[in-house]
Amino acid sequence: MRISITQPSIARPWTLRGTAATFRAVTAPLSTLRLNLTYPDEPSPAELSDRYRAAIDLAEYADAHGFITAQVEEHHGAANGWLPAPLTLAGLILGRTKKITVMASAIIGPLYDPLRLAEELAVLDLASGGRMMTVSGIGYRPEEYEQHGVDWKNRGAAHDEVLETLLKAWTGEPFEYRGRTVQVTPRPYTQPHPLLLVGGSSKPAVRRAARLGLPFFPSSHQPALQDYYEEKCAEYGTEGWVLMPPERVPLLHVTEDPDRAWAELGKHFMHEATMYASWQTSDIKSAVKSQAVTVDELRAEGVYRFVSPDEAVEEARTGNVVLHPLCGGMPVDEAWRSLHLYAEKVLPRLDDKSA
């Protein structure tokens, strides 16, 4: 995706290392590897294990070939096994890579114990040298709250508590928490704390980010929310920045023959698009949203795309690239073909300034 950063100045300046430095310094298109581990059938534990291990291998390869970010996600109780434990997978990826930033986009903040979350993210930040980036939102599926025994109606206040606790915990100093004094150790690597963004598509989410002086990550391209964020920062006396998704966020799979891929593999794109759409009500705004009911309609929409290496080059030159190699149960060998094609036939041409 095309990353647009609005950064008037930073009242809470991150040390220029690790994730924060990456996202402020990069001016070229970003290459992102998206991983959510969905699978439409009922795979055996062995088959699912193969896919999880392949995801880590794919991330290691992407890291070695110039990708900037790997994105992990969170959903619970999904029939297709959508990744429920993004921080666990993030840790495995960080342990196998050297440079890539792992972005949890997004965790469902109110479903976590705030103190444990502070510890988990601090350890990931330390072990990776600052390569962990977390977007925290409140989610939009009541059934996920019910499954975890969390009050859906209190989600806004619960998210406030989570974010406020993280910021206090990462100072390393004792603080009051639910009527007792606690202290979280160790302190993170990134100072004053790991890169934490507030995600969402509503004005309450904007106010939450502005009040705490945290960056805001809209769930879709909404310039009006960016304006509102800057207004609220001025009102609260805080300063921050907005990580604005582009108007168009195509999810790509590189292939030598897009027509063949749509005919043989389009069902995998269709599976994810259909499930994702089934969760989204009319008031939910998402950067990835499809109304297609057939593979042909999905192809015409352009949200999910099979592209040739030449088309991938043009896509990268006009915006950032999100590769989704295991989308909707895509066969592992097809995932590798896509990643190899991108690394061997796309990235070298992007580096060639004369091209």
CB atoms under 10 Å from CB of 151, counted, come to: 11
Q: How confident is the model at residue 246, as a pLDDT? A: 83
Nearest alpha carbon to residue 100 among 59, 45, 142, 153: 59
CA distance 321 to 317: 9
State residue 197 phi and psi, 5-degree precision. -115, 150
CA distance 339 to 255: 9
Q: How confident is the model at residue 1, as a pLDDT? A: 33
State residue 162 phi and psi, 5-degree precision. -60, -50
Burial 171-184 (b: 16+ CB within 10 A, else e): eeeeeebeeeeeeb
State residue 198 phi and psi, 5-degree precision. -95, 125
Q: How confident is the model at residue 11, as a pLDDT? A: 33
Please tell us whether the domain made up of 31-254+307-351 is placed in CATH 3.40.50.1440. Answer: no
CA distance 196 to 133: 6
- Report whether 305 contacts 273 (CB < 8 A): no
Count of all residues that appear for the chain in the document = 355
Nearest alpha carbon to residue 319 among 82, 113, 53, 29: 29
Tokens of 151: 């009050």
Q: To 10 degrees, what angle do helices 332-345 and 309-318 make?
A: 70
C-alpha to C-alpha distances, 115 to 31, 119, 162, 178, 312, nearest whole angstrom? 33, 6, 8, 11, 43
Query: Which residue's structure tokens are 């969170």?
Result: 74
Nearest alpha carbon to residue 90 among 144, 139, 19, 158: 19
Q: Tens place of pLDDT for every residue, the chain, 355 residues?
A: 334 433 333 333 333 334 444 444 444 467 899 999 998 888 889 999 999 999 999 999 999 999 999 999 999 999 888 999 999 999 999 999 999 999 999 999 999 999 999 999 999 999 999 999 999 999 999 999 999 999 999 999 999 999 999 999 999 999 999 999 999 999 999 999 999 999 999 999 999 999 999 999 998 889 999 999 999 999 999 999 999 888 877 899 999 999 999 999 999 999 999 988 888 766 666 667 788 999 999 999 999 999 999 999 999 888 788 999 999 999 999 999 999 999 999 999 987 543 3
- Report whether 196 contacts 163 (CB < 8 A): yes
- In sign, the C-alpha dihedral spanning 148, 153, 155, 158 is negative
Q: Which residues pair with 251 in a beta bridge?
A: 304, 322
Query: Which residue's structure tokens are 């996202």?
Result: 23
- Report whether 137 contacts 198 (CB < 8 A): yes
- Local structure of 81: helix, strand or coil: coil
Q: How confident is the model at residue 287, as a pLDDT? A: 64
